[in-house]
C-alpha cells in the first residue's frame, strides 16, 4: 500500500514517482546475511548423519577388503608382542623402556607379561 505522506525514515521505504508525485511504500526488510563459519557445518544434523554414514561405509569397505577388524588387531598385537620379546631377549632392551617409549599400556599391553612390573615403569619414568 502506497501513501503520499513523506515518512520520517525514508531509507526504510520504497519510492514511486507517478506524474510528478512521490508515493512511499514500506520496504521489505532486508535480511542480514550472517557469514557462516567453517565450524557451523558440524552443527547441522544432516552433515552429522552424512559423516556417520561415510565412516560406516569406510569401515564396511575395510572389512570387505581386509576381513574381520578384530582379527587384524589381534594380529598386530601379536606382532608387537613378539617385537618386545625379541628386543628384550636379543638386544637387552628392558620392557619398561619400550613401554615408556611407546605408551603401550594404553593400548592394552601389560608390562607384567614381559617380565617387568609397574614399579619398573614408574622407576624408569623418574630416571628419564
Say yes or no to pLDDT of 127 above 60.
no
119 domain residue, yes or no: yes
Residues 77 and 115 in one domain: yes
CA 109/CA 88 separation, integer angstroms: 15
CA 11/CA 64 separation, integer angstroms: 64
Domain membership of residue 19 as a residue range: 1-28
65 domain residue, yes or no: yes
Q: What is the pLDDT of residues 81-105, one digit of tens each?
A: 999 989 989 998 888 888 888 888 8
Strands (DSSP E) found in the chain: 13-18, 21-26
Quickly state the pLDDT bin for 62 (edges 50, 70, 90).
confident
Amino acid at each position: 500500500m502506497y501513501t503520499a505522506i513523506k515518512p520520517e525514515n525514508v531509507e526504510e521505504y520504497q519510492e514511486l514517482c507517478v506524474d510528478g508525485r512521490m508515493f512511499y511504500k514500506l520496504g521489505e526488510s532486508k535480511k542480514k546475511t550472517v557469514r557462516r563459519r567453517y565450524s557451523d557445518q558440524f552443527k547441522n544434523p544432516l552433515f552429522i548423519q552424512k559423516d556417520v554414514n561415510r565412516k560406516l561405509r569406510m569401515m564396511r569397505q575395510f572389512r570387505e577388503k581386509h576381513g574381520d577388524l578384530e582379527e587384524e588387531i589381534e594380529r598386530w598385537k601379536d606382532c608387537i608382542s613378539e617385537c618386545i620379546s625379541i628386543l628384550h631377549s636379543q638386544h637387552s632392551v628392558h620392557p619398561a623402556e619400550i613401554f615408556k617409549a611407546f605408551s603401550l599400556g594404553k593400548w592394552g599391553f601389560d608390562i607384567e607379561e614381559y617380565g617387568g612390573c609397574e614399579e619398573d615403569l614408574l622407576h624408569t619414568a623418574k630416571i628419564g
